[in-house]
Chains A and B, each alone.
Chain A
Amino acid sequence: MTGEALRSEQLRKVYTTRGSPPVEALAGVSMEVRRGERVALLGRNGAGKTTFLRIASTLLRPTSGTIEVFGHDVARTPERVRPYIAVVPQEGKPFFHLTPREQVYTYLLARGLSRETAKSRTEEALGRMGLADFADRLAITLSGGQRQRTMVATVIATEAPLLFLDEPTIGMDPFARRAVWDTFRTLTTRGSTILLTTHYLDEAEALSHRLYIIEGGRVLQSGTAEQLKRSVGGTLKVALAGAAGMTESFESFGSVIDDGEHLSVIVSPERLSELMELALRAKVSVTVGPVTLEEAFLRVVGRSINED
Chain B
Amino acid sequence: MRTESVASSRPFYGFRAFLWTEVLVQAHENLAMATSMVVQGVLLVFVWILDPALIGVALLGAILFSMFAMGQRVLNEAAYIRIDHKATDLYLAGPLSPEAYFLGMSTGILIVYLTPVVLLGVLAVEVVHFSLAVGALLLVLSAIVWLISASIGYVFSTFFRDNRAIWAYASLFFNIFGVLPPVFYPFDKFPEGLRSVVLLMPPSAAAAIVQHAIGATTISSGQLMLAATGLGVEVCAIFLFAIYWARRTVRES
A185: interface (CB < 8 Å): no
Q: Interface on chain A toward B: helix, strand, loop, or mixed SS?
A: loop
B95 touches which one: A61, A82, A89, A94 (CB < 8 A)?
Answer: A82
B192: interface (CB < 8 Å): no
Given contacts A59-B250, A94-B87, A111 and B21 within 8 Å (CB-CB) = no
Within 8 A of B (CB), among A76-128: 78-80, 82-98, 102, 106-107, 109-113, 117
> How large, as a class, is the contact surface on chain A?
35 or more
* Contacting residues, chain A, for B28 (C-beta < 8 A): 97-98, 138
Contact B1 A107 (CB under 8 A): no
Given contacts A83-B8, A111-B14, A138-B28, A78 and B250 within 8 Å (CB-CB) = yes
Q: Interface on chain B toward A: helix, strand, loop, or mixed SS?
A: loop
A197: interface (CB < 8 Å): no
A60: interface (CB < 8 Å): yes
B17: interface (CB < 8 Å): yes
Given contacts A112-B7, A192-B2, A89 and B87 within 8 Å (CB-CB) = yes
- Cross-chain pair count, CB within 8 angstroms: 138
B51: interface (CB < 8 Å): no
B236: interface (CB < 8 Å): no
Within 8 A of A (CB), among B212-253: 250-253
Contact A59 B17 (CB under 8 A): no
* Contacting residues, chain B, for A93 (C-beta < 8 A): 84-87
Nearest residue in B to A162 (C-beta to C-beta)?
B1
* B: number of interface residues (CB 8 Å): 38
Given contacts A93-B87, A160-B5, A161-B1, A82 and B252 within 8 Å (CB-CB) = no
Contact B251 A111 (CB under 8 A): no
How many angstroms between the C-alpha atoms of A8 and B95 in the bound complex? Answer: 22
- Interface residues as binary, A41-61 with B (CB distance below 8 Å gives 1, 0 otherwise): 000000000000010011111
How many angstroms between the C-alpha atoms of A98 and B81 in the bound complex? Answer: 13
Contact A110 B251 (CB under 8 A): no
B123: interface (CB < 8 Å): no
How many angstroms between the C-alpha atoms of A164 and B89 in the bound complex? Answer: 11
A60 touches which one: B17, B84, B95, B251 (CB < 8 A)?
Answer: B251
Within 8 A of A (CB), among B1-37: 1-9, 13-14, 17-18, 20-21, 24-26, 28-29
Given contacts A61-B252, A98-B25, A102-B24, A110 and B96 within 8 Å (CB-CB) = yes
A232: interface (CB < 8 Å): no
* Contacting residues, chain B, for A78 (C-beta < 8 A): 250-251
Given contacts A83-B7, A110-B18, A110-B21, A158 and B94 within 8 Å (CB-CB) = yes
Question: From residue A185, how far is it (CB to closest CB) to chain B in Å?
Answer: 16
Contact A58 B250 (CB under 8 A): yes
B90: interface (CB < 8 Å): yes
Within 8 A of B (CB), among A139-165: 151, 154-155, 158-161, 164
Question: From residue A61, how far is it (CB to closest CB) to chain B in Å?
Answer: 5
Given contacts A97-B28, A97-B29, A98-B25, A110 and B93 within 8 Å (CB-CB) = no
A residues engaging B (CB < 8 A)?
35, 54, 57-61, 78-80, 82-98, 102, 106-107, 109-113, 117, 138, 151, 154-155, 158-161, 164, 190-192
